[in-house]
Amino acid sequence: MAKKIMAVDDSATIRELLRDILTAAGYDVITAVDGADALAKIERESYDMLITDLNMPQLDGIGLISAVRKLPGQRFLPILMLTSVTDDAKKIAGKQAGASAWIDKPFKLQQFLSVVQMVLR
């Protein structure tokens, strides 16, 4: 059975790119348009990994990570922050909220898939 990954980004282009890349790599992918949409889906269904953007309306990536970490059974869910923000203070805040890894946009395909595979182990 394929691992199920939630990909969250307010950009439709990035959501489709992530869906295409991860589906081609053999993962089941569900997308969400922002943190609030993702949180609602995660409360109803379990996932093997969460990949989230940082800057989004409704609920940003750090807020989403913090909320997910408080949900029963989600303390150890692998969470990747995928963003163009390179501010060290934001990276620290993401790590403190519970991000497992940080990937900068734009990313290299093989590097991205390697991080996904490594974190899912």
* Domain range annotation of the chain: 4-120
CATH fold of 4-120 reads: Rossmann fold (3.40.50)
Per residue of the chain (121 residues), give pLDDT as tens: 899 999 999 999 999 999 999 999 999 999 999 999 999 999 999 999 999 999 999 999 999 999 999 999 998 999 999 988 878 888 889 999 999 999 988 899 999 999 999 999 8
What was the pLDDT predicted at 97?
93
Q: What is the CA radius of gyration of the chain?
A: 13
Going from the C-alpha of 56 to that of each of 41, 64, 75, 113, 117, the distances in angstroms are: 16, 10, 22, 23, 25
Rounded to whole angstroms, the Cα distance separating 120 from 116 reads: 6
State residue 43's pLDDT score. Answer: 95
Q: Give the pTM.
A: 0.94
Give the pLDDT of residue 88: 85
